[in-house]
Amino acid sequence: GAGVSQSPSNKVTEKGKDVELRCDPISGHTALYWYRQSLGQGLEFLIYFQGNSAPDKSGLPSDRFSAERTGGSVSTLTIQRTQQEDSAVYLCASSFASGGRRDEQFFGPGTRLTVL
């Protein structure tokens, strides 16, 4: 596709349920990022994947959050036992390079998660 795609665009769930959010990065981008944006807040880094390297998970807020990137392409962010404070827009981004270079990141439209 032309850009980063995310699904679903909106997700409403009940407290305690698990949710999976999907991200399809731009073809050829080796770096993939997940961010979270709570109402009226800036973006909070969650996790970063680069090629076959071990992901940087330092931004994950709790062990209820995990993410995978299969085959160096599609990524899934999983939130177990969701809490109301998990309600936010979850944004995925990808880029050509990372590490010492802070390249332009291309963002998807986000998934708006609402936990009731």
Partner 1 sequence: SQQGEEDPQALSIQEGENATMNCSYKTSINNLQWYRQNSGRGLVHLILIRSNEREKHSGRLRVTLDTSKKSSSLLITASRAADTASYFCATGNQAGTALIFGKGTTLSVSS
Contacts to partner 1 by CB under 8 A = 4, 33, 35, 37, 40-43, 45, 48, 50, 56, 58-59, 89, 91, 93, 98-102, 104-110
**Choice between 71 and 100, CB closer to partner 1:** 100
- Smallest distance, Å, CB 56 to partner 1? 4
Count how many Cα atoms sit within 13 Å of the Cα of residue 110 in the half-sphere of its side chain. 13
**Choice between 14 and 58, CB closer to partner 1:** 58
- Smallest distance, Å, CB 81 to partner 1? 25
- Smallest distance, Å, CB 16 to partner 1? 26
Three-state secondary structure call for residue 60: coil
Q: What angle do CA 37, 79, 47 make, to 5 degrees?
A: 55
- Smallest distance, Å, CB 29 to partner 1? 13
Q: What angle do CA 63, 83, 41 make, to 5 degrees?
A: 90
**Choice between 18 and 58, CB closer to partner 1:** 58
Sequence-ordered list of residues with C-beta below 8 angstroms from that of 41, at least 6 positions apart, any chain: none
User: CA-to-CA distance for 63 and 14, rounded, in angstroms?
Assistant: 19
